Amino acid sequence: MEKIKRNLPVSAIEILDNISYGVLVLNLEGGILFWNEACEDLFGYSAEEVLEQNILFLYPDRFKDKFKRHLKELKEGRRTINPWCGEHKDGSLIWCNAQTKLIYDEEEKPVAIICSIFNIKEEMALKSKLKRNRARIQAILDNMVEAVISINSRGIIQNFNKSAEKMFGYDSEEVIGKSLKILMPSPHKEQHEQYINNYLETGDQKVIGSGREERARRKDGTIFPMELSVSETMWEGERIFTGIIRDISERRKLENTILKISEDERRRIGQELHDGLGQMLTGLGLISQNVAQKLEANNLPGAQEVKEISELIKDADEYARSLSHSLVPIDLSQEGLRHAIIQLINRAQKLFNIQCEFEEAEIKKVGDNTALHLYRITQEAITNAVKHGSADQIRISLEGSADAIQLCIEDNGAGFSSYTEGQKGLGLKTMQYRAHILGGNLELGETEQGGGQIICSIPYYEQPL
């Protein structure tokens, strides 16, 4: 040590003895040669108590092997920076950050080891508290019924709770660190990065802060409906998005069953209108027509009135049959959606005295269930446009892309902004509901001229319901 001190100016010794962090010098075997005042404050030992002792006595028993390993690394010429758990004079443990390097003499031979020690007790306590908090939060998340998934601003999965594992069929280790696209079907997975980038650039919150229905993909490839609500927070300087997910497959199956029962009831009522009331009105029409002819032939009074009654019965018969046809659409499996919509338009033009235009691009064949729901959406949209929007011109288009089929209904009416709360009722909700049943979305808007616009997009992937 004397040789080292001789090589250091007095001012350097004073500086080392008065700086705020611990500095000690060891010989190559670990014997303590220099111990500054900060070390005294840190460990509770004075310089007289520790000089010439081996530093090993400051190591708790379970860490003594680490000292030997660190000493070996230093002798090999490596500079080390390690967390170090030392033992205070009173027996308590002290967490430090120790930076050590060799000291060389004029002949470039190692003569000693200098060690700078920084007390990281508060940092370690903070880390320990943070670790406990994380464990507590994870325990809460893992016991939630809903699936909880967190991603960063690049769409990389950061957290995947137990319910998410059960819902999607993945272990958390399989998905953490991977893109959220692994859980998304087309076309959403191809557009996922665009969704995030649009939000980060514009701040337009289409999903964040509100719930919506989406489709998700399990590990086995099956697609299922879910309710998704997304929140945003900052965590350690990074933007984190957290989604709470509910699997609504069972609810959708039940609702689809209810819709099927409702559709069967519509068919029954439509059939009874056609075969029951329709037949009776036809019979009454023929009888009244015969009575009118007899009265007129015998020049009896009342012939004109009976003839008017006959015309009214005929009109009622035609109206009942029109209602019957609207309740019972044509066989979609045989005629297809296009033909059904054309028939619907023809009836609407006669019934409401309006002009309807239909445009169709090349689309893939859709299943009967999808075709029926699209037919009912079109039917409800026409009725809404006439009844609530006072429209007399309606344009319907049906087109497809690689991933989805799109139905668009536009009118020249007053638009949805003019609807009262009562008018924004069951009809619009039923249309949105039917779109969700098919895994799609239905958006209400207005044309450039202010008329109503309904856009329904349905993905082509196989429906699970």
- 386-437: pLDDT as tens digits: 888 889 999 999 988 777 889 999 999 888 876 655 555 677 888 888 888 8
Mean pLDDT of the chain: 81
Q: Note the pLDDT tens digit of each residue in 217-243.
A: 999 999 898 888 888 888 777 888 888
Place of tokens 């229905």: 213
Average pLDDT of span 166-175: 94
| Structure confidence at residue 117 (pLDDT) | 87
Say if residue 458's pLDDT is above 50: yes
Tens digit of each residue's pLDDT (9 = 90 or more) over 85-96: 888 899 888 888
> Average pLDDT, stretch 159-170?
93
Contact at 8 Å (CB) between 398 and 338?
A: yes
What's the rounded mean pLDDT across residues 374-380? 89
CATH of 352-465, one of 3.30.300.30, 3.40.50.12160, 3.40.50.10490, 3.30.565.10: 3.30.565.10
Q: What is the dihedral of CA 369, 371, 372, 374, to 10 degrees?
A: 120
Domain map of the chain by residue range? 2-119, 127-247, 249-328, 352-465
Residue 134, pLDDT score: 76
Assess whether pLDDT exceeds 90 at residue 376: no
Residue 256: pLDDT band with limits 50, 70, 90: confident
CATH superfamily to which 127-247 belongs: PAS domain (3.30.450.20)
- The tally of CA atoms less than 13 A away on the side-chain side of residue 315 is 8
Residue 169: what pLDDT?
95
* 238-247: strand order across its sheet: 157-160, 147-152, 238-247, 223-235, 211-217
Over residues 358-367, the pLDDT tens digits come to 998 777 777 8
Do the domains 2-119 and 127-247 sit in the same CATH topology, yes or no?
A: yes
- The pLDDT value recorded for residue 6 is 47
| Closest listed residue to residue 354, CA positions, set 363, 344, 362 | 344
Fold that domain 2-119 belongs to in CATH: Beta-Lactamase (3.30.450)
pLDDT number for residue 11: 58
The pTM (predicted TM-score) of the whole model is: 0.54
